[in-house]
Structure 1
């Protein structure tokens, strides 16, 4: 098994077991600098042992940063030894050629004395940024390459666009051209327009006609999720049911425009609410043309700052094949401290905060980091949502960001709720993104959105499969063109028929 090296930070990933690689088996790995790959070697005497994550998952650690990449670039091959507090890199002979060596030969070579060896502390290696796409690609999870380095631009339509948090990673990737978006919320539409583009139409999607939407390769969107969420304790009002039925309009548009792929992101309860009624709608209505796959992902495991979970559902046309949503978890997790430390006075919405009343401040004072209303005198025995008066902890991930004003989600040290910019940072946004509308509008827009780690994760999967499909179609077209050229040539020579499979008649 070969896994491309990570050029960014650390990650773990899972794969299907086989005879050599299964739970409990030992392994070693080396880095091929020429092809920039990590080679996993099954070895009974190997230093590493595959453990279990879930039912069939196996982790692989790969920690790296720019500082040591420059040093290691001189080596042809190396062995990386991961210890509790440090990583030891053994640089192998620079002129060795492993192309024709067996795994046993490689292991024997590694057991010999190496040219250079040095150690680097893990603290120096585990600094991560938000480049999840790069890490996934570098890890070999997504290995499709553009044919002849061609670039593609995929026309994209966004439904239930909100403030544009799902669209933001797509907007910042030149492979996607978002040509149309729609949402009914005026303030959210203004936020979208100012950050992403003027292509958003502010109206109720139930009144939107199919011919108002351009043709597209991809449709993305998150149908209104309040009706599905457990945060909505009532959940069965007429308004809630109406929101849930908005999935019908998403399905209607996919049927009409027939994109190559579509993406739905929503709360995890979308899968189970009312015995799976809403998921079943998607599967029943769209499975004739599309393969559909879905999974619940965790923002924190994908490089985000919160424990927010979302369902991502991806449909792909039958000829493209079924998309696999990989089980990915970063080795080093981010915390509230990592998010809030980014926020400075030059961020948009820095001053946007709801000031608590004196009585609310007194309640906040009683809650320690990580605690909630249960620590407040007189509220200990109440039955409330666990986020009520929740005080964030510096060195832990945030709880899910909803409209935190309503729950009094509290700063780790100060007796106040989060500012809009602080909540945006926890969602993974940076200072370029500005929210518009009233203070309540801004808070609601943040709470309604998807985190950037999850959005970028979904985008990376979609981009890879669209590129692979485009490459395949391009390859077929090249073959067809060549076949036509041969047929024309043969025709000029006077032969009557050319069989591509059986020769010339």
Structure 2
């Protein structure tokens, strides 16, 4: 296929935590680059940031041309360093990238041909490091110095090494490697899984079962806001379950016919389409302290949470789950409710916490408790992307709105008494600004929630959006409650997402939703974990550009 030049042996670096490889012909010392893990397309991209002579390169423009999402990608830096007194260029591929590409191989054999370099991974029980093999013109290069004298190295092929098994093979172009060294911006490595010898043939045949696709089964799907976030993160929703017919119609109108209208308490889980990721936000009201006889999951008010947990346990393919709820679920009974969920799903490694949607670019401050359970390694909750001074505001969210945008004219018209009350309320104020002669008896008693008659502020994110008709959440400058489209903007939905049903139903559909940016942030950390799992199990290709 190609004329063989030589081979080299590389070993996992215990001190560096990665794989090191050196070759004078292929690399140039001091070239700098960034590793970008593009988990959406299951690729790792290497973008040169600086030539060996220190000349900077516009790597972000290159990333833009490659349509990389740098904001949601794992990025690591690398530099071609030097090895030994002869200043031999050394490439050091660290940590997750090394582990992802090279798995558990004890040795790498790098076979260098005239036009191609093939890296083979082996595992062995013998600690002896095989030496390099040369042929043809390369023999002169394959000599080692000892005490000032030059001697010929032993010829050795690790594939013939006793008790050694081949684990994988990676092939790439020598010219493409030269490009990385400073003559161009990129190179390409394509994984070729090349298992052999009995058990590895069996592994090869079973790779399809090991591979985890980006597929989601959704429960309590509502109008599909949480699912929309996962879609934008790159997932396919293959199954959705929702009890409310009008909410399901909105879901179907925007997202297709994967939704089933049924009550989860009656639904036969054997009829669901299995997916490796299950998401859902089951309603629960039973936050009163549990006694010694009754656990939180046994409280009838929490029957839907218990049923959702059962759906997760009965799914044979579930590798990751998300449980979304109100923050009180973490503190109920001094944390006992949370502990019951974790104990019942003890075969998952579970992380949990409270996330604020404004931290992820949503123009609404909405705090939600999030559990992420994983069978493929611990998945941490997404870190905030925006600081408070960077939050998206109501004014920014409402820019460009007009009556021709779907759902913008869908809002409740106030009666005369209600409109009178609205006139007295400034931005950031609520029912307390209403004169006493116009207050309701409940207001006069002082036990009215702070969100009632709350007028939004243009220069701040919105408060948590509940049912705007019931709470009378007011437009910043107009004496009316928010429209469905205005609410949708505050949940991060695109204007192409249209709500259907009667007005009352649409108002409740949006109030029950999860902000898209928050759901997308959760989806992104899960997607990265799945991608790295697939790489570790040799079911994905790395393409370095």
The verdict on how the C-alpha distance between 1:291 and 1:411 changes in structure 2, with shifts beyond 3 A counting, is: same
User: Could you tell me how far 1:227 is from its partner in structure 2?
Assistant: 5.9
Q: CA deviation at 1:153?
A: 3.4
**1:137 Cα deviation from its structure 2 partner:** 1.7
- Show CA shifts across 1:363-392 (max 9, x none): 111011000011111147522111000000
Name the SS of the counterpart of 1:193 in structure 2.
Answer: helix
Match 2:463 to one of 384, 399, 402: 399
Between the aligned partners of 1:132 and 1:299, the Cα distance in structure 2 is 24
After TM superposition, the score normalised by the length of structure 1 is 0.63
Match among 215, 235, 240 for residue 176 of structure 1? 235
Alignment coverage as a number of residue pairs: 352
Residue of structure 1 equivalent to 2:18: none
Shift of 1:302: 1.3
2:490 is the alignment partner of 1:430 = no
Deviation at 1:206, TM superposition (A): 0.7
Match of 2:169 in 1: none
- Residue 298, structure 1, aligned to residue 356, structure 2: yes
1:411 aligns with 2:475: yes
Structure 1 contact 76–96 (Cα < 8 Å) conserved: no
Deviation of 1:278 after TM superposition, in Å, equals 3.4
Cα pair distance change 1:273/1:133, threshold 3 Å:
farther
Instruction: Describe the shift of the 1:149–1:368 C-alpha distance in structure 2 as closer, same or farther (beyond 3 A).
Output: farther
Q: Distance in 2 between matches of 1:433 and 1:242?
A: 35
Matched, 1:310 2:246: no
Spell out the pairing of 1:83-122 with structure 2 (5 A cutoff).
95-96=53-54
Matches of 2:244 and 2:327, distance apart in 1 = 23
- Structure 1: how far apart are the matches of 2:259 and 2:245? 11
In the other structure, the counterpart of 1:204 is 263
Who is 2:524 aligned against?
460
Query: 2:514, 2:216 → 1: CA distance?
Result: 18
* Partner Cα distance (1:340, 1:357) in 2: 25
* Preserved contact between residue 293 and residue 323 of structure 1 (Cα < 8 Å): yes
Q: 1:293 to 1:227 in 2, by over 3 A?
A: same
Q: 1:470 to 1:376 in 2, by over 3 A?
A: same
The equivalent of 1:448 in structure 2 is 512
Residue in structure 2 matched with residue 421 of structure 1 by the alignment: 485
Check the 8 A contact 2:364/2:464 in 1, yes or no: yes
- Give the distance between the partners of 1:251 and 1:315, measured in 2 at CA: 11
Match of 2:167 in 1: none
Aligned counterpart in structure 1 of residue 277 of structure 2, from 209, 218, 239? 218
Q: Given that residues 132 and 453 in structure 1 are in contact (C-alpha distance below 8 angstroms), is that contact kept between their aligned partners in structure 2? A: no
1:123-154, Cα deviation, whole Å (9 max, x unpaired): xxxxxxxx99741325669x967866799732
Residue of structure 2 aligned with 1:353, choices 411, 428, 432:
411
Secondary structure in 2 matching 1:35: strand
8 Å CA contact 2:355–2:367 kept in 1: the answer is yes
Aligned pair in 2 of structure 1 residues 140, 460: CA closer, same or farther (>3 Å)?
farther
| Aligned residue among 418, 431, 434 for 1:373 | 431
Aligned twin of 1:284: 343
Select the residue among 142, 160, 167 that pairs with 2:220: 160
Change (3 A) 1:292 1:76: closer
Q: What TM-score does the superposition give when structure 2 sets the normalisation length?
A: 0.59
Q: Distance in 2 between matches of 1:333 and 1:435?
A: 26
Structure number with greater CO (CA < 8 Å, separation at least 6) is 2
Matches of 1:302 and 1:414, distance apart in 2: 28
Secondary structure of the structure 2 residue equivalent to 1:387? coil
Mapped to 2, the partners of 1:438 and 1:213 lie a distance apart of 29
- For the pair 1:327 / 2:383, whether they are aligned, the reply is yes
| Cα displacement string for residues 95-146 of structure 1 (whole angstroms, at most 9, x for unaligned residues) | 3189xxxxxxxxxxxxxxxxxxxxxxxxxxxxxxxx99741325669x9678
Separation in structure 1 between the aligned mates of residue 264 and residue 320 of structure 2, nearest angstrom = 20
Q: Secondary structure at the match of 1:204?
A: coil
Q: 1:431 to 1:467 in 2, by over 3 A?
A: same
Aligned pairs (5 A) from 1:55-74: none
Tell me the SS of whatever aligns to 1:311.
strand
Displacement, 1:244?
2.0
Q: Which residue of 2 aligns with 1:118?
A: none
Instruction: Report deviation, 1:213.
Output: 1.2
Match of 1:57 in 2: none
**In 2: Cα distance, 1:395 partner to 1:335 partner:** 5
The residue aligned with 1:247 is 305
**Is the contact made by 1:132 and 1:457 (CA closer than 8 Å) also made in structure 2?**
no
Q: Match of 2:422, SS?
A: helix
Contact 1:76 1:94 (8 Å CA) reproduced = no
Q: Give the 3-state SS of the residue equivalent to 1:206 in structure 2.
A: coil
Change (3 A) 1:96 1:250: same
**Contact 1:221–1:265 (Cα < 8 Å) also in 2:** yes
